[in-house]
A and B are shown apart, each in its own frame.
Chain A
Amino acid sequence: MSDRPSAVPDLVRIRNRLLLQQKELYVSAVQELNMKTRELLTNDFGTTLVRNSARDLAGEVVRRFFDMGDTYITVDQMYDRIVNFSYENDRDLLEGDEAIRKSFYNMNDSAEYSSTLQRISEQSRKAQKQLFMENRSQDKLDARSKRQYRESRMQPDGKLYDELTGREGSVVTVIRNGKPVVTSDLHADHIQARESAKYNSRYIREDRLDELKLSYNSEDNFLLMHASANTSKSDVRVCVIDGKVVNLQSKEMKSRMEKGENITDITHKATPSQLADAIIEQWEKETRSGDKKRVLQEKGYLDEDGKVKPSVRKELEARIRRSQNRESMTILKSTKYGTVAQDAAKETARSVHKIMAGQIIYYVLPPLVFETREILRRKDLTWEGFLTELKRAGARVVHYVKGKLGKMAGGVFQHSLNKFLKTFFDIILELVKATVKKLVKLVKQLVLSFVNCVKIIADKNATAAQKADAVTKTLSVTVTAFVLELLFEDLEKQLQIPGMLMEPLQIIVTVLVTNVIMLVLQKADLFDVQYGLLVANMEKVFDDVHSHYVQESERLMREGTADMDAIMAELEEEVRDIGESIAWADPYRDDLLPSVERINKLFHMGIDFESEWKTFLQPAWRGLP
């Protein structure tokens, strides 16, 4: 308000402004309501997918390659929480859909970067012992099993067939020790070589070793193949030299190892396809005479180009897989689960400090950063003020953390259990091979999912629908991931993608597919959880906008009426004053111009008294007698 005395137009202006302001306020409230509601109703599938996937990827890359799985907090979660934390906006990222995705990713670690997996692998390597120590010629089981296998494959007409090519073997009668003996050019031999057979002395029960030996000499580990094929494959081993898989003859391997070369024999845990590759490499190798390849071509192993026929490779691989499965089943029956559990517990104990650190950082760091930021923001702070503020901030942080202690303890317990189960299964996975390995992997994921589901179901704060929703999502993601893993194994073989590219590719695809599934389930909203949330959010938006509108409108009204009342009082005072000045005036002595001028101004009448007076006293009148 200016210094000049108020006039009626001032009052009218405030009156008009009040009406306009009310209207504007309403329009902006409607706009805000519409905007926020639209945002809630527009389910932007694409943006959410991209944003969540990008964040998950960032989290996954750091978790895997920096071996951060044990903290059970990912970088993106940490960042999000630190940046957005305030005591009012304390959104716990360890709950909800994001937690389901993250705990799912954390079921598997990188074999190359995880220290736990490295230790398991190293321990397993050290615990490897030769299964067959006795001399082969004195091993009655060996000779008897071979004979039995050959007899079992003999057709009623006495013929034998090569099990890799399906061709009939040729029979020659020779005189041995004066007796005619029928010999075949087909050999019955071990699929997984007896010489390379090893067992994990730490986890396999000693009393079950005979059972394991039996499984090596069972018909699942025998194969009828051509003599040349059998002899030429000889005793080949799968080795790792400088991180590369190389197939070596056992003699060559031993001599090179003796010379001090760093060679790791991984034959005992090689996959069926690795073993098949090793054998095929031997078959396709040139010999000086060239006889071997010629015979193998004749016998249907190699094609005209000297390469192993696909059908032979497929059959060989299938046989190896069957053999490994049989062995793995025996191993599963012979494992010292107590020792496995002990070792898993030891690994868990090793990780507990990381798990705890994760929880502490997650709950303590954000309020600390928040308080620091708040203090730094205040520029007017004196040294004394700073100290008081610091004390207050400290008290707030301590209060907040105290409130979260229960959650932290719960988190440590839950993650320790998860780590224990994960490691338990990882040790078993190190023992078994082929299809059994895949099945154990599935069991591992189901068990971990199941534990997560139990946690969800035990949550007192969630409704039945929310629980059902979370459990459905957890299980769907697990099952899909398993299917995905099978697909990937196939893809790796089909496209010959190198292993170093495989891991990143798998991370990317897993993250994307997981997010898509989560979003699809969210969209389908089978249990009305999203709908309920949406409705709750809509109501909240409305309540916020509505109360803000009412508050503002009332403030406008209050302020407007106060201003108007003040001016009104001033005007009344002015009118009374004018009234008095006129009432007491003497028309002969007092010039009443100031008084009428006040009325003129008060009501904006627009009269120019001076000029009116001049017109009244026209010049023509002057000087007249």
Chain B
Amino acid sequence: MGWFDRFADWAADKVQSFTGEKERRRLVAELKDHVAEFKENVENALAILNRRIQGFNDRIRELNRLRQGDVFRNIAVLSVFLGKFGEVKDAGDYAGEREKPMQALPERPFETRETYISDVDWSSDEVFVNTFFRTPLGMKFKTRKQNLSMRERLHEFKLEAEHTLKELETRAFAVETDQNICALYIECIKYISRFIEEVILPELELVEAFFQALAIKDRVIAGHPLQHAAFRNRNPIWVLRDTPYEKHYLFVKNAFLFYVLSCKIYNTPVLTRLLDHQTTNEDLTAMERQKEAIRLQGEHVRRQLIMSGQVAL
């Protein structure tokens, strides 16, 4: 490298430092790095979120299988049994609990960032032409303005990136909570189904037999001939209250309660409704209070700045 090249390099370095071109290049590089890093972080956070959603959806599928299987079967049996004691409502149509959609990388924000970067990333030809026509001092002011605005954008971007990651983290936590809620629901349904299957169903024939026996007893006492006695399919159970046979009344009532509960589980997406619950007024009031506190704090900070004369200097 001859002395002229060395001198040219030295001069270029000085001019670039003076015009702020060096700082601009550094800022552009920093912005690029941040965007790349951000993209990577978002991808990682999304992967975590999607894993959680996957887990949640697995649970939902398990729930739906349970509802269409055991719950539906129990409803069918109980409906026939209870029909002999009162007006049984139809179980209604099945409505599935909803799965959550997987989250994809939002392309648009990244596109705008990349366009912005290509806007501020002047090519060296551009820089040369600008420096030549504007003179280094003119270029200094132009670049300075540009650098300040880039700094502003960089700050906004860093904050936004931070927020995006925090939000993804919060969402992942929320999905995990939803999954836990779903597990609780499944557990409850299992308790109900097990009780119906193991405790109520085995007793049905016996209870039915008891009512038949009761009817026969009534006929005998009334002196009616037994050979004409038909099986009753409507049994008045309320009359058993406060009699030695009250336990049968209680059995039917308990079976009915479990039937109603099972029908609700079957025909209503209880969990989906719960989790889709929107923010209420009460929540909004709390939010407003928080917002106001933050605003007041901002005001306070600004007053401090004005008092200490740091503003606009």
List residues of chain A with CB under 8 Å of any chain B CB: 8-9, 11-13, 15-26, 28-37, 39-44, 47-48, 51, 80, 83-84, 89, 91, 522, 531, 534-535, 537-539, 542, 545-546, 549-550, 553, 557, 560-561, 564, 568, 571-572, 575, 578-579, 582-583, 585, 587-593, 596, 599-600, 602-605, 607, 609, 612-613, 615-618, 621-625
Pair A24/B170 contact, Cβ less than 8 Å: no
Return the chain B residue nearest A12 by Cβ: B277
Q: Is the interface of B mostly helix, strand, loop or mixed?
A: helix
Pair B280/A13 contact, Cβ less than 8 Å: yes
Q: How far is the CA of A44 from the CA of B169 in the complex (A)?
A: 42
Pair A603/B185 contact, Cβ less than 8 Å: yes
Whether B134 is near chain A, meaning CB under 8 Å from some CB there, is no
Q: How far is the CA of A405 from the CA of B279 in the complex (A)?
A: 61
Return the chain B residue nearest A531 by Cβ: B144
Pair B261/A596 contact, Cβ less than 8 Å: yes
Whether B8 is near chain A, meaning CB under 8 Å from some CB there, is no
Pair A9/B277 contact, Cβ less than 8 Å: yes
Chain B residues whose C-beta falls within 8 Å of the C-beta of A32 in the assembled complex: 298, 301
Among the 9-residue stretches B33-41, B62-70, B123-131, B250-258, the one with 4 or more Cβ atoms under 8 Å from chain A is: B250-258
Known: A12-B274, A32-B298, A557-B169. A617 touches B159 (CB 8 A): no
Q: Give A463 Cβ to nearest chain B Cβ, in Å.
A: 15
Pair B187/A575 contact, Cβ less than 8 Å: yes
Known: A28-B294, A538-B151. A591 touches B187 (CB 8 A): no
15 A-B pairs (CB sep. < 8 Å): A12-B181, A13-B277, A13-B279, A24-B294, A36-B305, A43-B312, A44-B312, A575-B187, A578-B191, A579-B187, A599-B192, A605-B264, A616-B86, A618-B87, A624-B236
Give 18 A-B pairs besides A587-B203, A588-B250, A609-B257 with Cβ atoms closer than 8 angstroms: A8-B181, A16-B278, A16-B279, A16-B283, A24-B290, A26-B159, A28-B291, A39-B302, A48-B313, A578-B191, A583-B191, A589-B247, A592-B257, A600-B261, A603-B185, A605-B264, A605-B268, A623-B236
Pair B308/A84 contact, Cβ less than 8 Å: yes
Q: Which of B251-302 contact A (CB under 8 A)?
A: 251, 253-258, 260-261, 264, 268, 270-271, 273-275, 277-280, 283, 286-287, 290-291, 294-295, 298, 301-302
Pair A589/B151 contact, Cβ less than 8 Å: no
Pair A578/B188 contact, Cβ less than 8 Å: yes
Pair B151/A535 contact, Cβ less than 8 Å: yes
Chain A residues whose C-beta falls within 8 Å of the C-beta of B86 in the assembled complex: 616-618, 621
Q: How far is the CA of A83 from the CA of B306 in the complex (A)?
A: 13
Pair B271/A29 contact, Cβ less than 8 Å: no
Among the 9-residue stretches B49-57, B98-106, B108-116, B172-180, the one with 4 or more Cβ atoms under 8 Å from chain A is: B172-180
Chain A residues whose C-beta falls within 8 Å of the C-beta of B1 in the assembled complex: none
Return the chain B residue nearest A546 by Cβ: B159
Known: A605-B270, A616-B256, A617-B86. A19 touches B171 (CB 8 A): yes
Contact of A22 among B160, B167, B307 (CB under 8 A): B167
Q: Give B77 Cβ to nearest chain A Cβ, in Å.
A: 15
Q: How far is the CA of A135 from the CA of B255 in the complex (A)?
A: 147
Contact of A84 among B177, B275, B279, B307 (CB under 8 A): B307
Return the chain B residue nearest A548 by Cβ: B297
Pair B254/A592 contact, Cβ less than 8 Å: yes
Return the chain A residue nearest B271 by Cβ: A603
Q: How far is the CA of A106 from the CA of B312 in the complex (A)?
A: 26
Chain B residues whose C-beta falls within 8 Å of the C-beta of A625 in the assembled complex: 218
Pair B264/A607 contact, Cβ less than 8 Å: yes
Return the chain A residue nearest B310 by Cβ: A537
Q: How far is the CA of A36 from the CA of B247 in the complex (A)?
A: 76
Interface residues on B, range: 35 or more
Chain B residues whose C-beta falls within 8 Å of the C-beta of A531 in the assembled complex: 144
Known: A21-B287, A35-B302, A44-B312. A582 touches B192 (CB 8 A): yes
Q: Which of B163-201 contact A (CB under 8 A)?
A: 163, 166-167, 169-171, 173-174, 177-178, 180-181, 184-185, 187-188, 191-192, 194-195, 199-200
10 nearest A-B pairs in the assembled complex, by CB-CB distance: A588-B247, A616-B86, A26-B163, A44-B312, A542-B155, A28-B294, A587-B254, A579-B191, A592-B254, A596-B257
Q: How far is the CA of A25 from the CA of B261 in the complex (A)?
A: 42
Known: A33-B155, A546-B158, A600-B261. A28 touches B295 (CB 8 A): yes
Q: How far is the CA of A599 from the CA of B274 in the complex (A)?
A: 14
Chain B residues whose C-beta falls within 8 Å of the C-beta of A44 in the assembled complex: 311-312
Pair B173/A561 contact, Cβ less than 8 Å: yes
Known: A9-B277, A84-B308. A41 touches B148 (CB 8 A): yes
Pair A37/B155 contact, Cβ less than 8 Å: yes
Chain B residues whose C-beta falls within 8 Å of the C-beta of A91 in the assembled complex: 308
Chain A residues whose C-beta falls within 8 Å of the C-beta of B261 in the assembled complex: 596, 599-600, 605, 607
Q: How far is the CA of A482 from the CA of B254 in the complex (A)?
A: 106
Q: How far is the CA of A507 from the CA of B253 in the complex (A)?
A: 100
Q: How far is the CA of A496 from the CA of B112 in the complex (A)?
A: 68
Q: How far is the CA of A567 from the CA of B214 in the complex (A)?
A: 50
Return the chain B residue nearest A91 by Cβ: B308
Q: How far is the CA of A28 from the CA of B274 in the complex (A)?
A: 30
Chain A residues whose C-beta falls within 8 Å of the C-beta of B148 in the assembled complex: 41, 534-535, 538
Whether B152 is near chain A, meaning CB under 8 Å from some CB there, is yes
Chain B residues whose C-beta falls within 8 Å of the C-beta of A604 in the assembled complex: 270, 273-274
Contact of A538 among B155, B255, B271 (CB under 8 A): B155
Q: How far is the CA of A564 from the CA of B175 in the complex (A)?
A: 13
Chain B residues whose C-beta falls within 8 Å of the C-beta of A596 in the assembled complex: 257-258, 260-261
Contact of A549 among B162, B192, B251 (CB under 8 A): B162
Return the chain A residue nearest B276 by Cβ: A12
Return the chain A residue nearest B87 by Cβ: A618
Q: How far is the CA of A127 from the CA of B169 in the complex (A)?
A: 89
Q: How far is the CA of A19 from the CA of B163 in the complex (A)?
A: 11
Q: How far is the CA of A553 from the CA of B82 in the complex (A)?
A: 55
Q: Give A378 Cβ to nearest chain B Cβ, in Å.
A: 20
